[in-house]
Structure 1
Amino acid sequence: MGRHARVLTLAVAFLTAPVILTPPALAADGDDFSGQCEYPNANYPGRPWSLQRVLLDELWSQSKGKGVRVAVIDTGVDVKNPQLKDAVDVKSGRNLLPKGLKDENGDPVERGNENGTTDTVGHGTKVAGIIAARPAKDTGFVGLAPEATIIPIQQNDAEGNGNTETLAEAIRHAIREEADIINISQDTSEAVKPDPDLEAAVDEALAKEIVVVASAGNDGLGGNVKKTYPASYEGVLAVAASDRNNERASFSQSGDFVDVAAPGVDMISTVPRGGHCSDNGTSFSAPYVAGVAALIKAKNPTWTQRQIVAQIEQTAERTIAGHDRLVGWGVVDPVRALTEDDEPIESPAPEEGLGEARAPAAAAIPLGETPDERNARLGTYVAVGAAILVAGLGGAAVAIRDARRRARSGPPSGDVRSGHAAM
């Protein structure tokens, strides 16, 4: 039987007080992709909207992410999904959940495989699919970087048994496994800075030129503005969620720490045991950006992590100069990020990348005929008049001929003329 997806509550422990890592909104999935998600599920037949906005052929002519390693620190990555089977490096994976855990009923919690390839929640499997799912003939869904490699690190579960200690350990494991990109689709719900060891682990990754991508959070309803972690740490690429209109999704966290936005509404991706479901949240915006980072890294292997981040920020779609607290530098544009890369940059330029709007031109009001227009009009009149004259002359000739014939032969016997009977 399929296993139902549950809302993910991720807890991070401080030295003194717990911090909740908020999950994405509950998925609305199913065989018709609008009900509850089952594992396995049906394949999504078309191309999801988040990929329709990208010219994939043009994008992949630049890079497919080959050779780039992306660590997914999450609830595990299920390799039973055919699109992830060849995308995951199972030897480098790790399960960091504590042993001997019990749920709220006192029953043992399933930890899963020690290499991080068990995902009873489905969250990590969706995240991995957005980054690097391989193409398949029965679906239009595919990862943005379909030749990148996933490092599966199971650090949390549905009961929220992950904490700052396991998250920091997961980052350090990714460093040891030579990750190029680290994706963290978890965030704190309180604007309180966590245990300094987590920030230290992030700094270690940045020092190794690893791009660290983190979701901004889903507590943005009502204009709520606050910092979340690890997204708010200096150097982390913090990702908000955008909708089909390239505007901030209503739930997406706002704040000065937000760097860019990416699609995060009705996101189709892979689920455990096969098939696809849709879900919402910045948890799925972050891997979209991590996939773009993998493409840039594969194309420009000597670029620093800061240059890769700046490239994503600089080429994002934005309607104002500079940065704002809703979508940061704008909504990520994968094709621009891969094609407008002549020289690496260290930071985005506020005025660059914006198209200059032109004032609309007033409609021309004709005040009279030009000489050419007058000559054309007169020429038309002459041609039409000549045609009428020719037709008229031809008709007159026929009428004269017929009249002469009648005059020679006289009226026929018994003919009726002018309404009077013949005598």
Structure 2
Amino acid sequence: AAGNKIQDIEPEPHYVRFPARYDSCLAVSAINDADIKYWWSEAGPEIDLAAPTGDACGGEGQWTLDVMGDYGYNPSAFDICGPDDSVVYHCPEGANDADYMCCFGGTSAAAPLVAGVVSLLLSRDSNLTRLQIHDILQQSAQRALEIDSIVNPPETDRGWGRVDAFRAVLSIVHGDVNNSGDVIDLSDLSALVSYLTGGGFVPYPSIRLADINCSGGVINLSDLSALISYLNGGPPPVKPCYKYE
């Protein structure tokens, strides 16, 4: 979490907070549903990614588990913040289940979304290193945003872009044509042949699963040749692959 200290009124320098500012960490800023960084979210050259969250100073936020029973945050969910200490917010009417928190916000809510994407990546490839994960998250981040685009990443507000779980996982599963989650084998070859010959099989959730050579173009015989080569001891499918169209 990059931190929300920019909301403070004390005359202090604003910067990405510890430990997010360390090179070995991923620093996550907070954006709204229009992909605009919240004014209170810290910015700086250390920012790697942005993730959506609720407003740390009012409005609805992320839903999450609360302390079970009456001792958590949700029974009286409110906060007062901002320069004039005037913002108060509550859970929506009828949503006062004490076991859940309705307005988890700030960069503290944005960062766990990125952590969840990391978990998805490791569930498909437990051998990924920290540096590989950093690269995958940065290169797969969505830069064509709601109202503008990030042309020369990283930028100080949103880093490499909005974290994108689908693109991140897709980048490391090329070759798993049938999306079984298992090793790439003859069943994937059979699925690719079926797709290329109009046999009815279509790679799901994306035909990029069959883009064995990471060309980004039409799936064709060159992908079939690459998969056959791999199954006969040749080079593996190209991944991570950052071709999504």
Instruction: Give the drift of 1:344.
Output: 3.6
Q: Deviations over 1:160-214 (max 9, x none)?
A: xxxxxxxxxxxxxxxxxxxxxxxxxxxxxxxxxxxxxxxxxxxxxxxxxxxxxxx
* Residue in 1 that maps onto 2:4: 218
| 2:47 corresponds to 1:261 | no
Pair 1:217–1:354, CA change in 2 (3 A): farther
Q: Pairwise mapping of residues 9-408 of structure 1 onto structure 2 (< 5 A)?
A: 215-221=1-7, 225-265=14-54, 266-273=61-68, 274-318=99-143, 319=149, 320-341=151-172, 342=174, 343-344=239-240
Q: Is residue 293–residue 309 contact of structure 1 (8 Å, CA) maintained in 2?
A: no
Identity of aligned residues (%): 31
Q: Distance in 2 between matches of 1:340 and 1:296?
A: 10
Q: Distance in 2 between matches of 1:353 and 1:323?
A: 19
Q: Distance in 2 between matches of 1:255 and 1:245?
A: 20
Instruction: Give the drift of 1:225.
Output: 4.2
Instruction: Give the drift of 1:242.
Output: 1.0
Q: Distance in 2 between matches of 1:237 and 1:333?
A: 15
Structure 2: stretches of 5+ with no match in the other structure? 55-60, 69-98, 144-148, 175-238
TM-score (norm 2): 0.50
Pair 1:239–1:283, CA change in 2 (3 A): same
Instruction: Give the drift of 1:287.
Output: 0.7
Q: Partner letter of residue 264 of structure 1? A: T
Instruction: Give the drift of 1:258.
Output: 0.7
TM-score (norm 1): 0.30
Instruction: Give the drift of 1:338.
Output: 1.0
Pair 1:337–1:271, CA change in 2 (3 A): same
Instruction: Give the drift of 1:241.
Output: 0.7
Q: Deviations over 1:110-138 (max 9, x none)?
A: xxxxxxxxxxxxxxxxxxxxxxxxxxxxx
Instruction: Give the drift of 1:354.
Output: 10
Instruction: Give the drift of 1:300.
Output: 1.1
Query: Which secondary structure does the structure 1 equivalent of 2:47 belong to?
Result: coil
Mark the structure with the bigger radius of gyration: 1
Instruction: Give the drift of 1:298.
Output: 0.9
Q: Distance in 2 between matches of 1:221 and 1:260?
A: 20
Q: Is residue 268–residue 279 contact of structure 1 (8 Å, CA) maintained in 2?
A: yes
Instruction: Give the drift of 1:308.
Output: 1.1
Query: Which secondary structure does the structure 1 equivalent of 2:163 belong to?
Result: coil
Q: Is residue 262–residue 288 contact of structure 1 (8 Å, CA) maintained in 2?
A: yes
Query: Which secondary structure does the structure 2 equivalent of 1:321 belong to?
Result: coil
Q: Is residue 249–residue 264 contact of structure 1 (8 Å, CA) maintained in 2?
A: no
Pair 1:307–1:243, CA change in 2 (3 A): same
* Residue in 2 that maps onto 1:25: none
Structure 1: stretches of 5+ with no match in the other structure? 1-214, 346-351, 356-423
Q: Distance in 1 between matches of 2:161 and 2:137?
A: 9
Q: How many residues align?
A: 134
